[in-house]
Structure 1
Amino acid sequence: MNQQQLFEQIQKKRSFLCVGLDTDIQKIPQHLLDTSDPMFSFNKEIIDATAEFTVAYKPNLAFYESQGSAGIVSLEKTVSYVKSKYPNIFIIADAKRGDIGNTSNLYARAFFGKQKYDAVTVAPYMGEDSVKPFMTYPEKWVILLALTSNQGAYDFQFIENKENGEKLFETVLKTSQKWGTEENLMYVVGATKAEKLKEIREIVPNHFLLVPGVGAQGGSLQEVAHNGLNRKCGLLVNSSRGIIYASSDVDFADQAKAAAKKVQQEMEVLLAEANLI
């Protein structure tokens, strides 16, 4: 999926919502534990309930890897289900990979050759040769960690270069633009750092940003949109717990649908105000 196709889906659905499939076997409704594949059963119902309101799904691989081979099977079934039933929905592997070039080449082959994701999150701190292998696949995306939503972001990402005063996350944004384009490179910018979005937009005005941290983590959707929207929307705002765990009872899918619809309606207003729909 290229940038224009993604923007067209945003316009069609009047939404830039990404639903994080952070499926925790310890949190899904009890009645699903009796099914043959509880994690997939949960995901399938969440996907069917929210697909009309979302343009992307983002499974966090740690939740599946924690369950060993059974979890990987659940994940593969989830991706295949989305691809077969909702082929226009963007799928992000939240994997945060980053290793030397040879290893990154195999990671890229796994996510884009074997598993058919549209994008994968990548850590930039081993440099260009650890990132470029992911960019050799047409219409696939690298989503580079730039400014994350966690408290630990302040440990390194705000360190200033004494010579030019440039913060480390700013260096990541500037340097990485030499590796890819706005057609294959996005950035993670946490919603809890939304006040930095204007500065970030000065560096990367045309790239898409994946923005986690809205909802349970306390980020403001309105602030993110005000500071981060561009001429092609340029935002995928992720909500995980606030949608998929809106209820832990038998009505969990209905409650997830209601939560996703509420976010979509807020996004529709913001897109209209920005003259993007």
Structure 2
Amino acid sequence: MNYQALFEQIRLKKSFLCVGLDTDEKKIPAHLLTEEDPIFEFNKAIVDATAHLVVAYKPNIAFYECKGAKGWLSLEKTVCYIKENYPEVFLIADAKRGDIGNTSQMYASAFLENMPFDSITVAPYMGEDSVTPFLSYKDKWVILLALTSNKGAFDFQFFQEGEQKLFEKVLEKSQEWGSQDNMMYVVGATKAEMLSDIRKIAPNHFLLVPGVGAQGGSLQEVAKYGMNDHCGLLVNSSRGIIYADSTLKFAEVAREKALELQEEMAALMDAKGIL
């Protein structure tokens, strides 16, 4: 999916909502546990209930890897189901990969060739040759970790040399490797006030913003500081949507929670003149 196609979906659905499929078998409704593949059945129900309201889904790969081969099968079934039934949806492999060049090439092949993901999150610490293998696929995206929402972000990301913080160096240097057409950045919603500084360095790139909802991030603040003329945002909510209810009505409640965010997003885009 290219930049324009993603923007068109945002305008069509009046939404920049990404739902994180961080599916934990210990947290899904008990009645699903008798199914052959409870994780897939849970994901399928969430997707069918929310796909008309979202532009992206983001499975966190750790939640599937921990189950071994069975978990990988649930993941593959999930992403194939989404692409077969909702091909307009942008799929993010939240894998946070990044290694020496030939290893990164194998990671890229795993997620961008052998599964129908549109993008993958990548850690930038090892530099250019660990990132560029992921950028070799047409209409696929690298989503580079820039400024995260966890408290440990202060351990390294704010390290300052001269007038430039480390996360600012990542933003600046990485634009030599990719462009706004194939590279996004992860910026945590709990650091929304930093988005204005990030926009000075990367004014046109899409930003994937986790942390809205259960983690305490403010959608209004994210839009205030981070939205550009093409929206430029994919705002993720995971627990606040997928685990909003644990009864037989879990998918219906997930739809209601997604709708609340979508309606707020539509109002924010309308105020910005995007719709």
Q: TM-score, normalised by structure 1?
A: 0.99
> By how many angstroms is 1:84 displaced?
0.1
Aligned to 1:194: 192
Correspondence for 2:241 among 240, 243, 259: 243
Alpha-carbon displacement from aligned partner over 1:45-80 (angstroms, at most 9, x marks no partner)? 000000010000000000011111111100000000
CA distance in 1, matches of 2:6, 2:257: 22
CA distance in 2, matches of 1:4, 1:68: 37
Alpha-carbon displacement from aligned partner over 1:159-194 (angstroms, at most 9, x marks no partner)? 001xx2210000000000000000000000000000
Aligned to 2:259: 261
Alpha-carbon displacement from aligned partner over 1:82-138 (angstroms, at most 9, x marks no partner)? 000000000000000010001001111111111120000000000000000000000
CA distance in 2, matches of 1:104, 1:116: 17
Alignment of 1:91-110 (within 5 A): 91-110=91-110
Alignment of 1:51-66 (within 5 A): 51-66=51-66
Correspondence for 2:221 among 220, 223, 243: 223
2:25 is equivalent to residue 32 of structure 1: no
Alpha-carbon displacement from aligned partner over 1:238-267 (angstroms, at most 9, x marks no partner)? 000000001011110000000000000000
CA distance in 2, matches of 1:65, 1:130: 22
Query: Which ranges in structure 2 are unaligned for 5 or more consecutive residues?
Result: none
2:122 alignment partner AA: V
Alpha-carbon displacement from aligned partner over 1:23-49 (angstroms, at most 9, x marks no partner)? 000000000000010000000000000
Question: Kindly, what percent of the aligned residue pairs are identical?
Answer: 65
CA distance in 1, matches of 2:269, 2:123: 30
Aligned to 1:207: 205
1:227 alignment partner AA: Y
Aligned to 2:87: 87
Correspondence for 1:233 among 203, 227, 231: 231
1:100 alignment partner AA: I
Runs of 4+ in 1 over 6 A off after TM superposition: none
The 3-state SS of whatever aligns with 2:51 is helix
CA distance in 1, matches of 2:244, 2:69: 28
Aligned to 1:19: 19
CA distance in 2, matches of 1:65, 1:129: 25
After superposition, the CA RMSD in angstroms is: 0.4
The 3-state SS of whatever aligns with 1:26 is coil
Aligned to 2:180: 182
1:110 alignment partner AA: A
2:20 alignment partner AA: G
CA distance in 2, matches of 1:176, 1:120: 15
CA distance in 1, matches of 2:136, 2:114: 15
CA distance in 1, matches of 2:211, 2:88: 24
CA distance in 1, matches of 2:150, 2:90: 24
Alignment of 1:40-79 (within 5 A): 40-79=40-79
CA distance in 2, matches of 1:145, 1:64: 21
CA distance in 1, matches of 2:67, 2:40: 12
CA distance in 2, matches of 1:112, 1:20: 18
CA distance in 1, matches of 2:98, 2:105: 10
How many residues are treated as equivalent by the alignment? Answer: 275
1:215 alignment partner AA: G
CA distance in 1, matches of 2:259, 2:251: 12
CA distance in 2, matches of 1:20, 1:113: 21
1:104 alignment partner AA: S
Aligned to 1:166: 164
Query: Which ranges in structure 1 are unaligned for 5 or more consecutive residues?
Result: none
